[in-house]
Structure 1
């Protein structure tokens, strides 16, 4: 666009962000590409023009362009200028050709034992025979009926302990629940702290509600308490978002002591916590959730999407008190209205009959098998959890994350680059492999051998045109 309208939005991002200007500018450029404001192949203004519009110096713009080029967002040619790179949008790793197996979606595998398809067919037939069709196909009570909330409370009890029914909600998926919790606790311009490498869903929510994300460094046990304390002192966030168990994507799981240390920091800074817990129930003996250790500070979300099936569109939410439950219910009503009746009936039937536990056990067994296959083929040095659904793949020095994933796509393999998960700073040389989306173990083995081949391929210095 001749008048560069998007530069005004970049200026707003710089003015409200606590991060370094060059990083904020690179993030703003990435956001403009994702939103379609900038298209692949578009020419960017000269760096001096951008500096004038943003009220900053040329050195900062040059540094931002270097960062954007490192992320695979732009290409520059002497005499021609700087262009949005072909393949810079997120679609370049998701939709640029057929994949042997799509390893981007973190799904639970469909177990062969018990036979899920036959179970669904039989149970849906029984539900339609026993229950009123008008009720099943009508709008439901936002937050779930008392009976549904009681079943949800029982399902998450091994992780958070016993809860009052009026503190439990049933939500149409974890993302709508997280959006409802975030919107209840924040206003535009507020800051959320989270892991520096974080689940992309929190980025989507932050962008939608005009919130600022501040990334905190982690180690093998997850978020570092001293780094969280420093971020809280510097930025005074309104909310902490975290995945303490089998973190997505790093697979880190906080020890009990680390959980207590994180809660101590949150207590000191009067910080509210949104705890996302999709994976704890995949473990035989999960650690207590943050919500079990600090009832009054933590809003807790456990989705069935990772433990049973995303097709159920069901998550269970535990709030600190009945008043907060009412406020989050109102937010869910505004965002997603209610659950689907037929799916809610199916989930409830599985909970009541014990079928949910049988399916969960089948998924646990299948994931453990797939993790062992991944370790055998890919070797050591990658981050994984034997109960988890994904691997955080470590890349050789010669591979950047975006280029690795783009090259793998050309070989018929769909993976997710670390750039998608990076809140701030340098994206690690990593890619995420979702093990559950392969239809069977044989397909997974074939795909992982393909990943290994790409890992071992030492690209030439001229490999800069791969998209």
Structure 2
């Protein structure tokens, strides 16, 4: 018999539960982590061994582990097994009461000039006068109409260059697009290489489709090519996922040479690249997208959620070929069916009239102001891009990421710990601060001064209830 007392408790919970076995098993795993029976980094027995001990089938245990990964409880590492994820016991950081200011969501600030609310009201009224209501409120063409794709191609042209309309799609949000691309190109059990500190949405996608993430370390310019090369030789990945411009959360932006070096590694290992580009239009003179440098290898996603508004639920997708466009269109149809007609009409109107450009310019001005405030209040030593929407805050030695976030929450500040972004290895002593979600610059400055006071607070040994 395995010397794992928690397994006996799992079996007892399953035996006394009337619910689905795989969900009961996930809940039992979560309870073992909360109780301390399993600690962060602990290796779990092989799934077949667990299935035999519990008297269930391997498929049920595999399904449970997939759900556990989706919930952020475990991570799977190629050739090593499944481990309790670092930070698995910290899911409470989001739920410790209301915050005075929520600095967790990377939202663009709502511009006052032009006045967004008045603009939306006027444009919706004009759309309802000019277009048929039945068409607006009905199901739309998956991937967007020809006109919508043409507008999308024009919007992303500064990053990717001119592209044919049959290589462009309109998606209901970037996460839908990323999920569609990944599910089109990868099979369960395949490996995706990404930054070791990465956007959490890729972890959600990997868990949903049974994929394994392998993290690669970065420097000030982003992912290190030699380390990517080594990871590819070790893990034989199917895809590379990256954010080359104003990386979330580290703020790193790849130089042109770094982009070429990364693409050279991808070519050598026959990798398809999924380029997530939420932020390059926020920059003056951003380097060309990877998709502009390697047309045939890169699938590119640019959301409007960070440059205009997440309320539009729109992302533009640029794909290597018409065949790939057809395949990803089918995947989007399976996941989300179509875009919302009224939002699509509003987005198209903004693109046609130039209002989208006005809003983008206003958001860029406001973010530059907020970055200047952040640099003044927080000082040097943190990862910041003067045109970006967030700060990757470095913590002093006495603060761990989860402890800092929990204590800041008690002080009325909501931040995101590094554990949320960590794919593998130890989480860095950093937290992410989103600058766009504060109501205005004054509110942001006040909140950042609160962050500084927490930074300066030296935790006492008795501060053991914050984890």
Q: CA deviation at 1:95?
A: 2.3
Query: Separation in 2 of the partners of 1:46 and 1:319?
Result: 43
C-alpha distance 6-435 of structure 1, shift in aligned 2 (>3 A) = farther
Query: Separation in 2 of the partners of 1:463 and 1:309?
Result: 40
- Check conservation: 2:405, 2:431, Cα contact below 8 A: yes
1:54-110 Cα shifts (integer Å, max 9, x gaps): 59xxxxxxxxxxxxxxxxx9xxxxxxxxxx9999343x2222111111000000000
Q: Which residue of 2 aligns with 1:276?
A: 276
Q: Which residue of 2 aligns with 1:154?
A: 154
Q: Say which is worse superposed, 161-170 or 93-102, in terms of deviation.
A: 93-102
- In the comparison of the two structures, how many residue pairs are matched? 416
Query: Separation in 2 of the partners of 1:238 and 1:191?
Result: 6
C-alpha distance 121-52 of structure 1, shift in aligned 2 (>3 A) = closer
Q: CA deviation at 1:461?
A: 2.0
Q: Which residue of 2 aligns with 1:351?
A: 351
Q: Say which is worse superposed, 428-437 or 281-290, in terms of deviation.
A: 281-290
Query: Separation in 2 of the partners of 1:36 and 1:177?
Result: 33
C-alpha distance 111-54 of structure 1, shift in aligned 2 (>3 A) = same
Is 2:370 the partner of 1:383?
Answer: no
- Check conservation: 1:418, 1:427, Cα contact below 8 A: yes
C-alpha distance 6-297 of structure 1, shift in aligned 2 (>3 A) = farther
3-state SS in 2 of match to 1:126? helix
Query: Separation in 1 of the partners of 2:246 and 2:35?
Result: 41
- Check conservation: 1:40, 1:85, Cα contact below 8 A: no
Is 2:392 the partner of 1:392?
Answer: yes
Q: CA deviation at 1:284?
A: 1.9
Question: Tell me, which stretches of 5 or more residues in structure 2 are unaligned?
Answer: 1-5, 13-24, 48-72, 74-84
Residue 35 (structure 2) aligned to one of 40, 43, 64 = 43
3-state SS in 1 of match to 2:157? helix
Query: Separation in 2 of the partners of 1:46 and 1:103?
Result: 31
Q: Which residue of 1 aligns with 2:222?
A: 222
Query: Separation in 2 of the partners of 1:2 and 1:214?
Result: 28
Q: Which residue of 2 aligns with 1:314?
A: 314
Query: Separation in 2 of the partners of 1:241 and 1:361?
Result: 28
Is 2:86 the partner of 1:88?
Answer: no
TM-score by structure 2 length?
0.85
3-state SS in 1 of match to 2:120? helix
Query: Separation in 1 of the partners of 2:317 and 2:88?
Result: 38
Q: Which residue of 1 aligns with 2:205?
A: 205
Q: CA deviation at 1:253?
A: 0.1
Q: Which residue of 1 aligns with 2:136?
A: 136
- Check conservation: 1:40, 1:88, Cα contact below 8 A: no
Question: Tell me, which stretches of 5 or more residues in structure 1 are unaligned?
Answer: 8-31, 56-72, 74-83
Q: CA deviation at 1:45?
A: 4.4
Query: Separation in 1 of the partners of 2:211 and 2:88?
Result: 27
- Check conservation: 1:41, 1:86, Cα contact below 8 A: no
3-state SS in 1 of match to 2:462? coil
Is 2:125 the partner of 1:125?
Answer: yes
- Check conservation: 1:40, 1:86, Cα contact below 8 A: no
Q: Which residue of 2 aligns with 1:464?
A: 464
Q: Which residue of 1 aligns with 2:182?
A: 182
- Check conservation: 1:40, 1:87, Cα contact below 8 A: no
1:29-48 Cα shifts (integer Å, max 9, x gaps): xxx98x7851498435489x
- Check conservation: 2:394, 2:430, Cα contact below 8 A: yes
Q: Which residue of 1 aligns with 2:15?
A: none
Q: CA deviation at 1:415?
A: 0.1
Q: CA deviation at 1:302?
A: 0.1
Is 2:196 the partner of 1:196?
Answer: yes
- Check conservation: 2:159, 2:292, Cα contact below 8 A: yes
3-state SS in 1 of match to 2:424? coil
C-alpha distance 203-440 of structure 1, shift in aligned 2 (>3 A) = same
Q: Which residue of 2 aligns with 1:102?
A: 102
C-alpha distance 351-261 of structure 1, shift in aligned 2 (>3 A) = same
Q: Which residue of 2 aligns with 1:303?
A: 303
